[in-house]
Amino acid sequence: MTAIQIKNITKSYREVTALDDVSVSFEFGRIYGFLGRNGAGKSTLINIIANRIFADHGEVLIDGAPAEENMGIHEKLFCMSEADLYDRDLRVKDHFKWTGRFYDGFDLNKALELSRKFNLDTKKRFKALSKGYQSIFKLIIALSLNVPYVIFDEPVLGLDANHRELFYSLLLKEFENNERTFIIATHLIEEVSGVIEEVVLIDKGKVLLQESVDTLLERGYSVSGMAREVDCYCEGRNVIGFDELGSMKIAYVLGEKTALPQGSSLQISAMNLQKLFVKMTGKGGGGNE
Amino acid sequence: MNKLKSAVLYEYLTKTRAMGIFYLIQYLITALIFSIVAICTNGNEIGSNALEFSSVVFVSVIGVLGYKEDFKALLQNGYTRKYIFWSTVCMFTLLAGTMALIDTIIGNSLHYFNDNYFTLYGSLYGYGNVFTNWLWLTALYLMFCSLFYLAVLVINRVGKTVSLLIGVGISGIILLVTALFRFVFTDEIVSKAAELTMKAMGFMSDGTTNFFFPILSFLVIGAIFGIGSYTVIRRTELK
Amino acid sequence: MNVNPSIEKPIFIQIAEQLEDSIFTGVFPEETKIPSTNEISALLNINPHTVLKGMNMLADEGIIYKKRGLGMFVKEGAVEKIRQKRQSRFYEQYVAALINEAMKLQMSKEDIISLIERGYGNDRNSN
């Protein structure tokens, strides 16, 4: 099977369970949004996929082959990480040169061309780059590398609006020219909602949902009106959250929209991804309640 | 195999700059000391000897960097721990070999031009056989690389508190063993142990010298550290 | 063209609607080529699969069609087709909503009709 398959992964740090029996799969040829709040377990899962840390239980398969300590998948996966793992004393162009020696699929000319587009000075040492340009440097490497699975962990951290736009358009161009899987882990859902096709939502170490963006937008909606009527409508439906304004109540529902009863004073409106995301992950920790 | 070569080259070539700076500074200081001492003593004395000791310090630092820097950089580039371990071992070997070569050539040249200068190897085993001198130094440097590589891996693995406890434990054991040799063990055991140590260093009981025993001893000790490092690194996670 | 990801409507529907609107208003005349999936995707930073989904929607409705190796073209009679579709939707989209709101406001049928007439009158005056 051409996919990254994550099977029953559990990972704990002392008493904290970072990932709790997580199973999910990322298929080849799609752009995924891997969404979750800070500390939801995104980086932990990415680090396990990229063989940087080990799972306590479960396994990760890449095109059917185990990902843990397997040099056979070297040319299949690349993970741009939020953490700085690069030698800080090396110059950007030397990093490009070395990446080219480590990976057969690295296109040095593309990396140089992208550096020009982003105005990245390739003569600078990594440590001399600003936070934003360190991210850009890592993005350029990931975009210039032709491997089937590329993971971006918080790719636009520290980038200004122009560079973000540029990144998303370059990513889409790469995707069109050469189909592969991009997984974008982020908490900035609004920004990526046009770019991604599928959403994997993780919260407190558990996968809350895996769904296509279109389906989510079609199935997610809100119902507002008098509290009593709203409660009545919501009975038996998959309600993911509420808001209350005096005697008015808004319920956020996931599921098939059904016609309102005749003469009902309820209002049905659609719900965007951001709202859905906030409602599903709102409880606890982040001060949303 | 190609991938391993790239990793070895990466690890090695990112250290050569530091190595160059190290030698530059070392010989600048040495030259300074030599001149001052030579002026003060009218050329009868020489400033320092056995410069190999500072190389030992340098390779120990390299042993630490072999984990600190290269582990995460190679992990970022998709290498497995097994590959990273072997590439680091190859880097240590290359680096130890290079530095041993430089130190052998310079040390023996200095000794050739000025009898007062002695090299570490020469003072123990005499001058003349430059090749075994190089091999011996390589093995010595390699042993220190492995020792510090293992140390930094263990420290990283068990954390600060446990590392300190291990440190205290090891010094305790050393004190205990010394005390045992001085006060508990019979003279026979003590002399046997001394004889064994001398043998390991190549000084046979019949007064002859075996030049390959010390090299072998260093390699064996280095390999033990290496096996230890391998078991630790196989389960080491990125922090 | 302009797609707003924060609007709750699925993006592929927004794309289909906007393309349809451009065809209806004559931006893309019949039997001419419309922009490719990649062009739209690059312009709006939208996943090409999503753009394709929107295009397929229009193709299913018989508004555009694929010329092999050349791209997507506006079908002959597309404008008429769109007009019919919109006319048939006019009642539920506008009239039903109008009456619903009018009833909430307790406005009579006559009030509405006179308002419509006023609207047409104004229109004529302003022209």
Q: Give CA–CA dist B236/B81, Å, rounded.
A: 8
| Boundary-marking domain end, from A204, A239, A267 | A204
Do A176 and C38 make contact, defined as CB atoms within 8 angstroms?
yes
Q: Looking at the domain assignment, is residue B40 inside a domain?
A: yes
Does C8 score more than 70 pLDDT? no
Do C68 and C85 share a domain, yes or no?
no
Do A71 and B9 make contact, defined as CB atoms within 8 angstroms?
no
Q: Looking at the domain assignment, is residue A209 inside a domain?
A: no
Angle value at C-alpha B13, between B11 and B16, nearest 5 degrees = 115
Contact call for residues B30 and B53 (beta carbons, < 8 A):
no
Chains with ≥3 CB–CB distances under 8 Å to B: A
- Does C39 reach chain A within 8 Å, measured CB to CB? no
Most C CBs within 10 A among A214, A262, A276, hence the mutation to make, goes to A214
pLDDT category at C6 given cuts 50, 70, 90 is low
Q: What is the ipTM of this complex?
A: 0.89
Do B237 and A53 make contact, defined as CB atoms within 8 angstroms?
yes
Chains with ≥3 CB–CB distances under 8 Å to A: B, C
Domain that holds residue A235: 216-281
Does A264 score more than 80 pLDDT? no
pLDDT value of position A262: 67
Domain that holds residue B25: 2-233
- Does A13 reach chain B within 8 Å, measured CB to CB? no
Instruction: Tell me what the pLDDT averaged over chain C comes to.
Output: 86
Mean pLDDT of A251-272: 80
Do C21 and C69 share a domain, yes or no?
yes
pLDDT value of position A288: 35
Q: Looking at the domain assignment, is residue B226 inside a domain?
A: yes
Nearest to A170, CA basis, from A158, A155, A190, A157: A155
Which one has a higher pLDDT value, B116 or B149? B149
Do C57 and C42 share a domain, yes or no?
yes
Does C28 score more than 50 pLDDT? yes
CATH number at residue A184: 3.40.50.300
**What is the count of structural domains for chain A?**
2
pLDDT category at A283 given cuts 50, 70, 90 is low
**Closest in B6, B78, B238 to A47, CB measured:** B238
pLDDT value of position A220: 86
Q: Which residues pair with A210 in a beta bridge?
A: A200
pLDDT category at A189 given cuts 50, 70, 90 is confident
Q: Which residue has the tokens 């998948």?
A: A73
The alpha-carbon gap from A12 to the nearest alpha carbon of chain C, in Å, equals 35
Q: Which of residues 71-130 of A touch B (CB under 8 A)?
A: 71, 73-74, 77-79, 81, 83, 85-87, 89-90, 98-99, 101-103
Q: Looking at the domain assignment, is residue A248 inside a domain?
A: yes
Question: What is the sign, positive or negative, of the torsion defined by CA atoms of A123, A127, A133, A136?
Answer: positive
User: Percent of chain A having pLDDT more than 70?
Assistant: 97
pLDDT value of position C122: 65
Does A127 score more than 50 pLDDT? yes
Record the tokens describing residue A155, joined without a space.
């790719």
- Does A70 reach chain B within 8 Å, measured CB to CB? yes
Closest-approach residue (CA) in chain C for A166: C45
Burial of C56 (0-12, 13-18, 19+ CB in 10 A): middle
Domain that holds residue C106: 79-126
Do A213 and C50 make contact, defined as CB atoms within 8 angstroms?
yes
Do C29 and C64 share a domain, yes or no?
yes
What pTM, to 2 d.p., does this model score? 0.87
Do A276 and A162 share a domain, yes or no?
no
Does A287 score more than 50 pLDDT? no
Do A15 and A131 share a domain, yes or no?
yes
Q: Which positions ≥6 away from A44 have C-beta within 8 Å? A: A11, A18, A19, A53, A205
Q: Looking at the domain assignment, is residue A125 inside a domain?
A: yes
**pLDDT tens digits for range B87-116:** 999 999 999 999 999 999 999 998 888 878
pLDDT value of position A289: 32
Does A139 score more than 90 pLDDT? yes
pLDDT value of position C80: 92
Does C125 score more than 60 pLDDT? no
pLDDT value of position C127: 46
Mean pLDDT of B167-182: 91
pLDDT value of position A48: 96
Most A CBs within 10 A among C14, C45, C52, C92, hence the mutation to make, goes to C45
What are the chain B neighbours of A99 within 8 Å (beta carbons)?
A: 77
What are the chain B neighbours of A101 within 8 Å (beta carbons)?
A: 6, 9-10
Q: Looking at the domain assignment, is residue C5 inside a domain?
A: no
Do A103 and B7 make contact, defined as CB atoms within 8 angstroms?
no
Q: Give CA–CA dist B204/A139, Å, rounded.
A: 62
Does B81 score more than 70 pLDDT? yes
Closest-approach residue (CA) in chain B for A78: B78
pLDDT value of position B50: 78
